[in-house]
Amino acid sequence: MEIKTTSERMYALLVLFDMHTGFYSKAISGISSRDAHNRLNTKANHVSWLAGSLVEQRYDLANMLGVGGKQAAHELFENHQGIIENVTYPSLEEFKKDWDHISPLLRTALINVTDEKLNEQIDMGPVKMTSYEMIAFIIYREANCIGQIALWRRLLGYEAIKYD
């Protein structure tokens, strides 16, 4: 399927976005709630936090592009907060439900984003970047977090993620 974006700069990022949309579901598939919270006696972020953080990030990006909404577990992730010790995060199925809700809305926003919007400056204190740079970073982070979940699958004894 050929993708036609309003801004030519968004084509490659949208291809990656589409890949990540499917990989997310495959990465979390079949992981038990117990295992999703298992940190294997490390300080690493567990699968539940990674999965919820990715959903929060998609909602944040959607909001930046004019699509409203929040995930059900927003309060656990707002303001980019890290993992909260001794909290049971929602099930992976709940995160997937929010992922499946926001992804097509965000996809449409990414297809339709204009160069004018992409050139807008974002001021985050010491860090300044354009909306385009923020979108590119978020797409990069999605790959990183999905890769971490894929690694957790293997560390926890699950079958490797299927990329087909």
What per-residue string of b and e applies to 87-108 under the rule 16 or more CB within 10 Å gives b? eebbbbebbbebbebbbebbbe
Residue 1 has a pLDDT of: 57
* Residue keyed to tokens 């993708």: 3
The closest alpha carbon to 64, from 138, 14, 152, belongs to 138
User: Residue 16: is its pLDDT beyond 80?
Assistant: yes
Contacts of 136 (CB under 8 A, 6+ apart): 13
Q: Say yes or no to pLDDT of 3 above 90.
A: no
pLDDT tens sequence across 36-80: 999 999 999 999 999 999 999 999 999 999 999 999 999 999 999
In the prediction, which pLDDT does 114 show?
Answer: 98
- Tokens describing residue 63: 């909001």
What is the overall mean pLDDT for the chain?
96
Each residue's pLDDT tens digit, 18-28: 999 999 999 99
In whole angstroms, what is the distance from residue 38 CA to residue 47 CA?
8
